[in-house]
Amino acid sequence: MASPSSMTTTSSTTSKLVFSGCSTSSSSSSSPRLLPLTTATTSSKCRAFHFHRRFNPLRHVHLRPCKNPTTVFAQTISPPSFIAAAMATEPSAKVIDGKRVAKEIREEVAAGVSKMKEALGVVPGLAVILVGDRKDSATYVRNKKKACEDAGIKSFEACLPKDATEEEVLKHISSFNNDPAVHGILVQLPLPSHINEQNVLNAVCIEKDVDGFHPLNIGRLAMRDREPLFVPCTPKGCIELLHRYGVVIKGKRAVVIGRSNIVGMPAALLLQREDATVSVVHSRTKNPEEFTREADIIISAVGQANMVKGSWIKPGAVIIDVGINPVEDSESPRGYRLVGDVCYDEARQIASAITPVPGGVGPMTIAMLLSNTLTSAKRIHNFN
């Protein structure tokens, strides 16, 4: 059982998975560090690209004959035509507002939590285990706590010192596994290097694995006619954005950049479950742009600032950018700013829709975590 001193109420992380999977500021063992592109270190947007030539979509799109432009929207959004996209002097892509969608989802979760409390007197509970004193991890845990409070979810927290033993961590997990007030358990990654991440994640009982990282959940996600109990939050958030913006996935070509356990791989499996034809591009892929140029949907989760140029994108494609990368910016009060894997200014002149960074996928992770926690509580209490 977590000691009272280390156990308090807690909350959300927009950024936990995103950062641990994609940001250059973190060093989770699961972090992908893929294609060998230098990180932009300038305040000018997509500068590495602009150094060479002034961007002109007409020049950069078709390095080989491109098939029809993408038409992936069902109804919600009118796709700009190829000509419109290519000739645009102003950005034409619809901005996929993850902040707004995440807010909607959090409100839906809050309503669901209320309903459950009213009907059964049960309040969903989320436990977070934090080991060590990483500043970024502490911030994420604080955010989780706040988001839980807002949604009416009870949060539990076990804060352990950085020299805590694996046994101690496992003891806390076991205690949360057995606590009927806890419906979801989340281990804040990365763990200190002396702790075996696999052993710890495997110890979370599958019914409370709201992060969806248990191999049994991943196996069910990969298999046809099987259903995982939980889907990892960040890739689930990516697909939710596509759904809520009416993007058709079935029959479309999707490229996932990155194959991490926490974003790329499950994102590819989710897209395939929705009948996209999926290619996974990674650090060993030669000429990844040859794949992305054919894609109707791109999900990038690679942690390389501005890696995906305008010239990598098929006109009309939909871009989900999971990367959150700090680049130096002397004009910013903090000395840096956050950019995605995709060169946003270039992409929004070619794509039909794109997530910004920040404010795109980031806020979705915590929203899906809250949603998974409510789902778990409903399942455990057989409440619909």
Which amino acids are annotated catalytic?
144, 188, 211
Using only C-alpha atoms, the chain has a radius of gyration, in whole angstroms, of: 21
Q: How far is the CB of 355 from its own copies (least distance, A)?
A: 24
Among 27, 194, 215, 335, binds its own copies (CB under 8 A): 215
Is residue 300 helix, strand or coil? strand
CB of 146 to its own copies, least distance (A): 31
Q: Is 14 or 260 the residue whose CB approaches its own copies more closely?
A: 260
The CA-CA-CA angle for residues 38, 41, 42, to 5°, reads 135
Please identify, using beta-carbon distances, which residue of 153 and 278 lies nearer to its own copies: 278
Q: How far apart are CA 176 and CA 353, in angstroms?
A: 41
Which listed residue (82, 291, 312, 344) binds its own copies by CB under 8 A?
Answer: 291
Between CA 63 and CA 54 the distance in angstroms is 17
- Binding test (CB under 8 A) with its own copies, winner from 210, 263, 267, 280: 280
Out of 194, 216, 328, 332, name the contact with its own copies by CB under 8 A: 216
Angle (CA) 135-139-142 rounded to 5° is 140
The tokens of 34 are what?
């893929």
Query: What is the distance between the alpha carbons of residues 258 and 31, in angstroms, rounded to a whole number?
Result: 10
Q: Exposed, middle or buried by CB within 10 Å (0-12, 13-18, 19+), for 271? A: buried
Binding segment toward its own copies, per CB under 8 A, in 16-24, 163-171, 264-272, 334-342: 264-272
Distance CA 232, CA 340 (A): 20
Task: Say whether residue 84 binds its own copies (CB under 8 A).
Answer: no
Site string for its own copies, 160-199 (x = CB under 8 A): --------------------------------------x-
Q: Is 335 in the site for its own copies (CB under 8 A)?
A: no
Catalog residues that contact its own copies under the rule CB under 8 A: 29-30, 64-65, 198, 214-226, 250-251, 259-261, 265, 269, 272, 275-282, 284-286, 290-291, 294
